[in-house]
Amino acid sequence: MVKKRVLRSTSTQLIYQAALAQGLEVKIESTRFNLFSVVIGHKKIFIKGTNMPINPQSSCIIANNKFLSKKIFKQNKISTPKSWLVSSITKARKLIVKRNIFPCVIKPISGAHGNEVYANIETSQELDQVLHDFSKKPHDNILIEEHIQGTDYRILVIGDMISAVTKRIPAHVIGDGRSTIKELIRKFNTNPLIGKKYEKPMCKIRINFELSRTLKKNGLTLQSIIRQKRTVFLKQNANISAGGISRDVTRTINPDSKALAIKAAQVLGMEFCGVDIMYDNQTKKSYVIEVNDCPGIDIHHFPVIGDSQNVAGDVIKYLISKNEDTIIPQDILVPFENTHLHIVRQTN
């Protein structure tokens, strides 16, 4: 019998339940620190969040350094946006203006969830505003990138296969002809799929500098009333952590993006990762933005739009396949159901 939810994050709980469904021996080591163990064959494997002993430590270190990742990508002729590394805010501004790197992206070389990522900076005036906000935290290394406009994909790679693909849609509201943008944001944030942090598949739309910058670019404010059915995008990036939503496109994504994601994972030595791809719809070209070594998988199990993909089941199968002394043959693996979490999906 599958136990009720006990771990702090949905992604970890999904993997835990997938292991239970296969009849494996599992043990909650710490609910507070989101850690459990699973015995496969004669090996005890610890899983914390979605961190597990699949990826080499050195590969994870490279993946967590966006500059090093890009260096490896370029050496292996993998398409990635042009980038420059500088050591200060002053040097960043000087380089961008001198080389006219507009539109551009500014971000730290490490970090996750789209934190401190400022995309689509189009003018010197906007650049000054962004750098002022960016300077609120100290940064020894600043990454500047050319901005690629297109469709944002998160591709989940396990081994040499694609387990799931999500199209990430930036945070947005849809007008009703009477509510202000601020009121529409408040309504969006009541969705039951939204967690306090990252423990559920969706996150709140937070009113911050990035949201204000995006509204200003479109001549709007929080008090603007949006006509009925008009969509207003609120952020320049599509991260789920910034209030974006997920749409499953596993079966419809273009083959070039899938092949590029697998190659990007392989050149970094990653066996389990989320590859962020930007697909330029005009040139039909795919670019690797970055690779996440501990990707959330709940967005694939519970997309806001589209079909659920059984990533947790694929993870457990792969863990079993990596341990040759396992006593569970591949041909008797049982299907895993998402229904045990009882998370309500949004209807569209």
| Cis previous bond, 255, omega within 30 | no
- pLDDT for residue 338: 54
Query: 82-147: CATH homologous superfamily?
Result: ATP-grasp fold, A domain (3.30.1490.20)
DSSP string, 270-289: -SEEEEEEEEETTTTEEEEE
Contact criterion met (CB below 8 Å) for 274 and 295: yes
pLDDT in tens, 290-333: 999 999 999 999 999 999 999 999 999 999 999 866 444 545 45
Average pLDDT over residues 34-57: 95
- pLDDT for residue 304: 92
Rounded distance, CA 9 to CA 180, Å? Answer: 33
φ, ψ of residue 67 to 5 degrees: the values are -70, -45
Rounded distance, CA 223 to CA 208, Å? Answer: 15
Its pTM stands at 0.90
Tokens standing for residue 346: 């949004």
In the predicted structure, residue 342 carries a pLDDT above the cut 50: no
- pLDDT for residue 208: 95
Give 342: exposed, middle or buried? Use CB within 10 Å, 0-12, 13-18, 19+: exposed
Give 265: exposed, middle or buried? Use CB within 10 Å, 0-12, 13-18, 19+: buried
The Cβ of residue 10 has, within 10 Å, a number of other Cβ atoms equal to 22
Give the chain's mean pLDDT. Answer: 91
- pLDDT for residue 340: 47
Higher pLDDT, 37 or 330: 37
pLDDT exceeding 90 applies to what percent of the chain? 82
Average pLDDT over residues 244-256: 96
Average pLDDT over residues 271-298: 96
Domain 56-79+149-170+244-295 CATH class label: alpha beta
- pLDDT for residue 336: 52
pLDDT in tens, 218-230: 999 999 999 999 9
Domain segments of the chain as ranges:
10-50+311-341, 56-79+149-170+244-295, 82-147, 171-239
